[in-house]
Amino acid sequence: MSAVSEKMSTEPLSAVGVLSSHSEAPDDYYVVAQTTDGSDADLWKDGLFKSKVTRYLCFSRKPGPDVVVDVKLTDIKEALPEGFVAVHETMDTKEPAMRKRRLCVKISPRAAAQTAVFDIQIVAGSKFHLLHYTCMGEINKLGIWYRMGEVPHLQSSQERFGRVKNDVPSDIERTISARPECEDHSSGSYTLTAMDDVPFEITQRFYDSPKEMQQVNLMGITIKSLAEIEEEFHYNFSTERSIVA
């Protein structure tokens, strides 16, 4: 048993391909140029005749809307597995990717994927096994292993706000709704509200009150001023004072 790395990347694979040269990798692509023991990871290697043709596996973890949820290695004469696409050509030269075997990749929208492929390694010889990895097959005595993991899903700000609001107790939620502004003089913190910096002013007609109200006749009823009422109904209590004296 052998372990490549206990720490798995946080991003799943978004694409898998084959290159004719490990030095011609596109941007954001990682080339599996060596096996886990440091040997050449050429998938086209011919054991009888030294060939100038080389093939190297590559993959990308560039975040996008899709992720790789499964990979398979099948015979070139077998039917293509349902839901998979075949890697027929090299990415750099558009030549046949493999001779007798065919690399198949299954892509799924990230939002719908629960698990995905996070890493691919190549092992020299079938006697070695990678911890936490699954072998998809062998090419020229080179085992291709992949590791699965759970796909992290990013929550939108609206979903996060909805979760926080639902987690707030009803009594606290009512308090927050009743008190839209919060001020803490002891800690020096202050929360601005929509009413801040809005000027308030009393209308001018309330500043200067007339000394005497004008008489208004409303449906035959005369409205008198305070001075008129005091003058008409004034009583000095002189009689009562004379009796007491």
R_g (Cα) of the chain, nearest Å = 42
- Res 217: pLDDT: 57
- Res 195: pLDDT: 62
When the candidates are 1.25.60.10, 2.100.10.50, 3.40.50.300, 3.40.50.720, the CATH number that belongs to 15-150 is: 2.100.10.50
Three-state DSSP at 122 gives strand
At residue 230 the predicted structure's pLDDT band, cuts being 50, 70 and 90, is: confident
Q: What is the DSSP string of 171-194?
A: HHHHHHHH---EEETTTTEEE--T
86: nearest Cα among 158, 161, 16, 181? 16
- Res 178: pLDDT: 45
- Res 7: pLDDT: 63
> pLDDT digit string (tens) for 139-198?
988 999 999 999 987 665 444 445 545 554 555 444 444 444 444 444 444 455 656 666
Asked if pLDDT for residue 209 goes beyond 60, the answer is no
pTM listed for this prediction:
0.61
Asked if pLDDT for residue 23 goes beyond 80, the answer is yes
Tell me 206's DSSP state.
Answer: G
Q: How many CB atoms lie within 10 A of CB 106?
A: 17
Contact 122, 36 (CB under 8 A): yes
Q: How many CB atoms lie within 10 A of CB 53?
A: 12
